[in-house]
Amino acid sequence: MPLPHSDARSDQLVRDPAGGIERLLEIMRRLRDPQTGCPWDIAQDFASITPYTIEEAHEVADAIERQAWGELPGELGDLLLQVVFHAQMATDAGMFGFQDVVQAISDKMLARHPHVFGDESRDKTPEQQTVDWEKIKAAERGGQQARVLDGVALGLPGLTRAVKLQKRAARVGFDWPSTDEVVAKIAEEAAELVEARDQLTQTEVTEEFGDLLFVMANLARHLDVDPEAALRAANAKFSRRFGRIENWLAEAGRTPADSDLAEMDALWNRAKAEEKSR
């Protein structure tokens, strides 16, 4: 049965399981059709869709971290849909289309891999290739005329952007020589946060808290730790251990609301010891 308000060729494509990327592009075109599409999809714009794009990227990262390989194709599909959605909105606005997106990234990959697609030697370490990659990116930004921090995306998660800003600054020598200075700065910022809490406004407390987080991100960089990954792991650990507390209380017919801090802290330590003994 043909879909309503459509042509046979389009219907055949959207129903074809082997239609590939063209099938997805046609589905999105149909969803955004101002006459026959989905009212929700039609109402969206770049700003309203951006949070979903970020969320889907995080869900891909979550599936990888959990090694949920059976879920990964679906999560990558959700992320791909975001690219297609943005491209269709751009097409609707006469700005660019999906093929422009494909061409842009393809051209970029060729330009940034001269050791694969050009005449440069492949006899480099991954570290040297990273250095060369950054040099090419700097040239794309305007070489020596570009400012050091240009191009670090505003939409990155805060800790990730902090590390990227610090890496850029470190390349021109604006960096502490060791973790000792970073740790000392953390103590200094923590003291300033306590002072702000006791004496200053909430706005100033927020500023000092941000300073402390920024230095913590710097320590992560010096220790070669991904702060976002470390925080996700800490979140998972907290959830896991608190879940054990709930389970033990439930065995006694109780909930956390029926307990108190002293008891739950003891159960927390029990959960912690249980994990360490495995």
**60 or 277: whose pLDDT is higher?**
60
pLDDT confidence band for 129 (50 / 70 / 90): confident
Residue 253 resides in a domain: yes
Contact assessment for residue 45 and residue 98, using Cβ atoms and an 8 Å cutoff: no
Q: Do 243 and 170 belong together in one domain?
A: no
pLDDT value for 146: 67
CATH number, residue 49:
1.10.287.1080
Q: Domain span at residue 59?
A: 8-109
Does residue 111 register a pLDDT over 50? yes
Q: Give per-residue pLDDT as tens, 171-217.
A: 889 999 999 999 999 999 999 999 999 999 999 999 999 999 999 99
Residue 125 resides in a domain: no
The dihedral through the CA atoms of 63, 276, 231, 206 has a sign that is positive
List, as one string, the DSSP characters of 8-32: HHHHHHHT-TT-HHHHHHHHHHHHT
Q: How many domains does the chain have?
A: 3
Q: What percent of the chain has pLDDT over 70?
A: 95
d(Cα 246, Cα 131) in Å, to the nearest integer?
Answer: 49
Q: Give per-residue pLDDT as tens, 32-54.
A: 999 999 999 999 999 999 989 98
Does residue 5 register a pLDDT over 80? no
Residue 88 resides in a domain: yes
Among residues 94, 235, 228, the alpha carbon closest in space to that of 164 is found at 228
Q: Do 64 and 43 belong together in one domain?
A: yes
Q: Do 187 and 261 belong together in one domain?
A: no
Please tell me whether the overall predicted TM-score, pTM, comes out greater than 0.85 for this model. no
Name every residue whose Cβ is closer than 8 Å to that of residue 42 and which is 6 or more positions away in sequence.
31, 32, 33, 34
- Identify the burial level of 267 via C-beta atoms within 10 angstroms of its C-beta, where 0-12 means exposed, 13-18 middle and 19 or more buried: buried
pLDDT confidence band for 1 (50 / 70 / 90): very low
Q: Do 213 and 237 belong together in one domain?
A: no
d(Cα 122, Cα 153) in Å, to the nearest integer?
Answer: 30
The dihedral through the CA atoms of 161, 174, 136, 121 has a sign that is negative
Q: Do 20 and 50 belong together in one domain?
A: yes
pLDDT value for 2: 46
Q: Do 70 and 85 belong together in one domain?
A: yes
Residue 83 resides in a domain: yes
Q: Give per-residue pLDDT as tens, 133-173.
A: 777 776 776 655 568 888 888 888 899 999 999 998 998 89
Q: Do 255 and 169 belong together in one domain?
A: no
Residue 3 resides in a domain: no
Residue 131 resides in a domain: no
Residue 14 exposure: Cα atoms within 13 Å on the Cβ side: 17
Q: Give per-residue pLDDT as tens, 77-110.
A: 999 999 999 999 999 999 999 999 999 999 999 9
